Amino acid sequence: MKVIIDQVRDYNLEELKEFFKNFLKECEFFLKSKSILLKPNLLQASPPEKAITTHPVFIEACIIAVKELNPECSIYIGDSPGANFINYEIVLKTTGIMDAAKKYNVEIVKFEKYAPKKINDFIITSFVDKVDCILNLAKLKTHSLTGLTLCVKNLFGLVPGTNKVGYHKKYPDSSKLAENIYQIYEIVKDKTLSFLDGILAHEGEGPSRGKPVKLGIVGASVHAEALDMVITNVLGFPVDFCKTNLVLLRKGINLQDVEIEGKIDNIPKIRVPISTKVVFLPNWFKRWFAEHISVKPEIDKNSCIKCFLCYKSCPVNAINKIDGFFLEIDKDKCIECFCCYEVCESDAINLKRSLLHKVIAK
């Protein structure tokens, strides 16, 4: 497995175009593809400077590279931003993706318009069958549930609409959820090439409530899982901090099995979500005090704009409407999946740590 990494100062269109071209020109199946899907991270309607979504210049550079290397192919852009898929057009406009698509006459697809495809226990959009190649354009972000969201996690966006909610309900444990996200990646990995936008990354309470941080990182690989392992290590974390890496580790695959081309130096230590901070206690003690060591979402009624995205995204129906208007989280039902926290666009959901979590979480 080979991974290419590099450092760039900013979103320079020409420099990024060459980065894409240098990688893609060596990929024979890409050059033969007649239809190509660009799959960015379009989590919510946020401007590029918030570093919540894949930067439009990164996507524009990819489009140009594809057109120059494979001018006859059809290019599509698509994602399914969770509970926000009903506001897809607003997401596209706010993130700058719509302008980039129009500029180069690239067709935008909405995965929910295509019949869902079931493979084993997994549901993904059937649009993947209509393309020969997927260019996975992930964003480097911290994540309150999986530690980091990188290339493998980005393909969770192939699950249409609120079907993602079902996975959170079925797999409330973060490691189990990550393992199943990895299985979704395995369905499409043979037609997928992965790229990572970590030029302006997202730290702290990711994937949507943290802060932008300039890292200048870009990466590319035929193997999304290998790129994720390398980037996790570059950031100074143990490989298992990114939960989607756990599948590889169980298979006995580690960094020594990856060929790395390029070098990244002087990367600052990024802040992580409070929910990922490790509690150093014996397992029996953790189980005993589990109900007292928690991080629970809480709605700030003054900031809430009543869009009800959190209400729609909760996999266990733990959010109740009070008098049909105000929202309240049932802490007994809450499974701490943080879906509500992730989709909120008005910063109206905070994470409240229990006293014991504050004392013993590092």
**What φ, ψ does residue 124 adopt, rounded to 5°?**
-130, 170
Omega before 207 cis (within 30°)? yes
Instruction: Name residue 195's beta-bridge partners.
Output: 137, 220
267 occurs within a structural domain: no
311: left (phi over 0), alpha (psi -120 to 50) or beta: alpha
Same domain flag for 81 and 147:
yes
Same domain flag for 126 and 220:
yes
**What φ, ψ does residue 305 adopt, rounded to 5°?**
-105, 10
Q: What pTM was estimated for this model as a whole? A: 0.87
Same domain flag for 208 and 338:
no
Residue 297's contacts (CB-CB under 8 Å, 6 or more residues apart) are 329, 334, 336, 338, 340, 341, 349, 350, 351, 352
Q: Report whether pLDDT(286) > 80.
A: no
Same domain flag for 251 and 296:
no
State the Cα–Cα distance between residues 108 and 8, nearest whole angstrom. 28
Do the Cβ atoms of 214 and 8 come closer than 8 Å?
Answer: no
246 occurs within a structural domain: yes
What CATH code is carried by the domain that includes residue 305? Answer: 3.30.70.20
Same domain flag for 243 and 282:
no
252: left (phi over 0), alpha (psi -120 to 50) or beta: left
Grade residue 358 by pLDDT with cuts at 50, 70 and 90. Answer: low
State the Cα–Cα distance between residues 185 and 182, nearest whole angstrom. 5
19 three-state secondary structure: helix
268 occurs within a structural domain: no
270 occurs within a structural domain: no
Could you tell me how far CA 224 lies from the centroid of its own chain? 12
Same domain flag for 254 and 312:
no
By residue range, what is the domain housing residue 302? 277-360
272 occurs within a structural domain: no
Do the Cβ atoms of 73 and 33 come closer than 8 Å?
Answer: yes
Same domain flag for 36 and 183:
yes
pLDDT at position 278, please? 58
List pLDDT tens digits, range 248-279: 999 999 999 999 999 999 999 999 998 887 55
List pLDDT tens digits, range 222-234: 999 999 999 999 9
pLDDT at position 282, please? 56
State the Cα–Cα distance between residues 9 and 217, nearest whole angstrom. 9
* Farthest-apart Cα atoms in the chain, separation: 62
What CATH code is carried by the domain that includes residue 70? Answer: 3.40.50
Q: How many domains does the chain have?
A: 2
Listed residue (99, 124, 107, 241) closest to 175, CA to CA: 241
269 occurs within a structural domain: no
First to last CA, the chain: 34
126 occurs within a structural domain: yes
**213's tokens:** 């941080």
Grade residue 121 by pLDDT with cuts at 50, 70 and 90. Answer: confident
Q: Report whether pLDDT(322) > 60.
A: yes
Residue 99's contacts (CB-CB under 8 Å, 6 or more residues apart) are 56, 93
Helices 56-69 and 13-24: crossing angle, nearest 10°? Answer: 50
